[in-house]
Structure 1
Amino acid sequence: MKFTAQIMTGIAACIMLFTGMTPASSDDKSIRLLVPHKVQLQLLGWAAKPTGKQRSTISTDKCLPLDDPGLRDQSRRFVELMIWCQAIKTSGIADSITLIPFPGQARAFALLNSGKADGFGNSLFRFRVEKKTDILKFTSPVIAIGDYQVGLFTAENRKDVLNVRTRNGLAKLTGITVSKWVIDRKTMYSLNLERVQEVTRWELIAKMIEGGRADFTFSRLDRKVIDQHGIKMLRIEGLKASLQDPRVLIIQRDNERLFAAVQSFISANTKAIRDAFVLSNFITEKYTGWPDVTKQSPENNSG
C-alpha cells in the first residue's frame, strides 16, 4: 500500500509538472492579487519570483516601507502594491502575495466573483465598483478627490485661451475630452462650462482645439508641453483641476478578514499613504499656489 501511494504521488506530481500546476501547501499563506501583466513584469525585475501558470510571488519581507527612497518616481501601481504588502505584513494574515496577471477588467471581475482571486493589486476609481458590491468590497480612498490634479492644455495658437486665469474666464470656454474617459468627462462637466465636446479618440483633440472647435483639455499637470501629431499643446499657466472621483482598493466580497486588515491599515496610515504618492511623484505639490478650478471659492470666481 505504501508503494502504491508513492506511485500515485509520483503520477500526481507529473501531471502538475506537465499542466503547469503547482501543488498546494497546507501552510501556504498567500494573498492572490490581480495585476496587469506589465506590473508583474516590473516586479519580476525587483522582488517577485515566478511560481508557474504565469503567476509570481512576493514575500512580504520584501515590502518597501511607505517612506522608502525606493518609491521615488515609481508608478502609482507600484506604490499601491506596497500599500497592499504593508497592510498584509502588518496584519500578519499572510506572508506572501501571489500576483495573477489578467487581460482585462471583465476577466478580472470574473476571477474575483469565482473566488479565484482575493483582490485587485491596483486601485480603481470608485465609480467603477460602486454597483458591484455583490462580488466585492471596496476600501476608503487611497487617493482622495483633490489629491490627483491635472493641467489644462490648449493649442499654441490659442493665445486667447492661454491668457485665461480665473474660473469665470474658463466658464466661457468649451472643454473637450474623450467620451469613454468617464472621470475626465465628469470633471469637465463639473466646471459648468459653456460647452463640453466629447470625441472618440484622444488623437482628435489637438486638431479641434487648434481649429477653434474647442478650447482646452486635461493632461498631466507636471509638464508644460504636449506634442500631438505635430500640434504643440501648452499648459494654461496658473490653473489646475482635481479629478472628481477617489481611487479605492478592491477585495473579494467574502474575504472579511482581508478587508478588515486592509481597511484598518488605510485608516491608520492615511498621511503616510499620501506621502508615498508624493514621493513617487504621482501626486505633485509643486502647484499648491495655483487655484483648483474644480473648487468653488471667491478666488476662483473673481472674474
Structure 2
Amino acid sequence: MKISLFVVLLIAFSQPVFAGLVVKAAVAQDVLEYYNKYLKGRDPLTIDSFKDPGARRDIVELILFQQALSIGGLKSRVEFVGSPSYTRTVMELKSGSILATGNTIWSQDLEGADNLWSSPSTVRPGDFVAGLYGKPDSIAKFKKMEIGKIKKLNIVTSSVWKSDYKALTDAGFKNILDVQHWPLMVRMVGNGRADLMLSSFRSTDDLSFTDEDIKLVPLPGYKVALAGGRVWSFNKDFPQSNQVIQAFRKGYKNLEDRGTIRRAYKECGFFNERVKDWKFVRAGS
C-alpha cells in the first residue's frame, strides 16, 4: 500500500519533541541561496515531487534532510548555516562548530573522525555521474571534436572537491582550472575563460541548467564517473546530538525503505536514464 508523505509526517507529529533544540546544519552559501529561491515560501516538509526544472541534487538533499528528521520524530527547528566552502563545512563539522551537514558530503573526507556519525551512502558505486557542461554555442563545436581534443580544453573545477578533481585527472583532462566556488565556475564558462565544467545532470528536456543568468548544456554522448559514498554526517559531541541522530536514523530508513531518496534523485535529473548509454570518459580513450 502506498503511503503518502502527508500521512508519514502526520504520524511523525505524534513522536517526541525536543523543546529548545535547534539543529544547526552547514550548507554552502550559494546552495543556501538557490534553496531559498526554490522554496518560494513553501514548507519543505510538504514537498513530495521534484520534477520541476528548478530542482537539483543539493536542493533536494536539504529538503530530504528536514523530512528525515521530522519523520524520525524530531520537531526542533532546523537552521541552515551558510558556509563559504566545502572545506570549511567539513572542518566545522569535525570541530563541533555545527551539528550536521545539510547536504551529503563525500564519506572519504570523514575518514578517521571518530566523533562523527554518518548515514548510509545515498549513492551506490557507479551511481554518481556528471556531465561536461558548456555554453550551447561552444558545445555545438565541441561535439564535432574527438575526445582526445576535448580533454585538452580548459575545464574548471575546485581542488577542494577531491572526487571531482580526481575524476577529471583520472579521465585524462590536461588543463584543469582551479577555483573555489560553483558560481565562479559558471561565470568562467559563461565568459569564455573556461570551456567546460562538471555538473550533475538535470531534468530539463535538454538536460540544461541556468545559473547566474547563464545557460549551460552537456556535451552529448559523454559522462564522467565520480567515486565514493555520499553521506549526511553529524557531530556526536554536540549537545543533544544523540536525539537528533536517532531521529535522523529512523527517518532516513523510512525514506530509504519507501524509495523516496532514489525517486527524488531521479525526478531532479541526478539519476538520469537519458544518459545511461553515454560513454564514460576514461584515460586513454
Instruction: Tell me whether the two structures share a fold, i.e. TM-score over 0.5.
Output: yes
Separation of aligned partners in 1, 2:167 and 2:275: 19
Task: Give the alignment of 1:133-212 within 5 angstroms.
Answer: 133-152=113-132, 155=138, 162-164=144-146, 173-174=151-152, 176-178=154-156, 180=159, 181-191=161-171, 193=172, 196-200=174-178, 202=185, 203=188
Q: Name the residue aligned to 2:229.
A: 246
TM-score, structure 2 normalization: 0.62
Cα deviation, residue 187, structure 1: 0.8
Q: Contact 1:30 / 1:95 at 8 angstroms: preserved in 2? A: no
Q: Contact 2:131 / 2:201 at 8 angstroms: preserved in 1? A: yes
Q: Which has the larger radius of gyration?
A: 1
Cα deviation, residue 264, structure 1: 4.6
1:119 and 2:100 matched: yes
Q: Contact 2:18 / 2:75 at 8 angstroms: preserved in 1? A: no
Q: Contact 1:162 / 1:237 at 8 angstroms: preserved in 2? A: no
Report which stretch shifted further, 70-79 or 282-291: 70-79
Cα deviation, residue 79, structure 1: 1.7
Cα deviation, residue 185, structure 1: 1.9
Q: Name the residue aligned to 1:83.
A: 64
For 2:111, give the aligned amino acid: E
Structure with the bigger RCO (C-alpha within 8 Å, sep 6+) is 2
Separation of aligned partners in 2, 1:39 and 1:156: 25
Task: Give the alignment of 1:1-303 within 5 angstroms.
Answer: 27-35=19-27, 36=29, 37-38=32-33, 41-42=36-37, 45-47=41-43, 63-64=45-46, 68-69=48-49, 72-73=52-53, 74-92=55-73, 94-105=74-85, 108=89, 112=93, 115=96, 117-131=98-112, 133-152=113-132, 155=138, 162-164=144-146, 173-174=151-152, 176-178=154-156, 180=159, 181-191=161-171, 193=172, 196-200=174-178, 202=185, 203=188, 218-219=198-199, 221=201, 235-254=218-237, 255-267=241-253, 269-270=255-256, 271-293=259-281
Q: Contact 2:80 / 2:102 at 8 angstroms: preserved in 1? A: no
Aligned-pair RMSD on alpha carbons? 4.3
Kindly tell me: are residues 114 and 157 of structure 1, through their superposed partners in 2, closer, same or farther at Cα, counting changes over 3 Å?
A: closer
Q: Please state whether the residue corresponding to 1:146 is helix, strand or coil.
A: coil
Structure 1, gaps ≥5 residues long? 1-24, 48-61, 210-215
Q: Please state whether the residue corresponding to 1:277 is helix, strand or coil.
A: helix
Q: Contact 2:155 / 2:194 at 8 angstroms: preserved in 1? A: no
Separation of aligned partners in 1, 2:46 and 2:60: 9
Cα deviation, residue 250, structure 1: 1.5
Q: Contact 1:150 / 1:221 at 8 angstroms: preserved in 2? A: yes
For 1:91, give the aligned amino acid: G
Kindly tell me: are residues 245 and 174 of structure 1, through their superposed partners in 2, closer, same or farther at Cα, counting changes over 3 Å?
A: farther
Cα deviation, residue 134, structure 1: 4.3
Separation of aligned partners in 1, 2:169 and 2:276: 23
Separation of aligned partners in 1, 2:267 and 2:49: 8
Cα deviation, residue 171, structure 1: 10
Separation of aligned partners in 1, 2:234 and 2:64: 14
Cα deviation, residue 281, structure 1: 2.9
Cα deviation, residue 275, structure 1: 0.8
TM-score, structure 1 normalization: 0.59
Q: Deviations over 1:191-232 (max 9, x none)?
A: 3x3x633334553895676xxxxxx764554557899xxxx9
Give % identity: 19
For 1:28, give the aligned amino acid: G
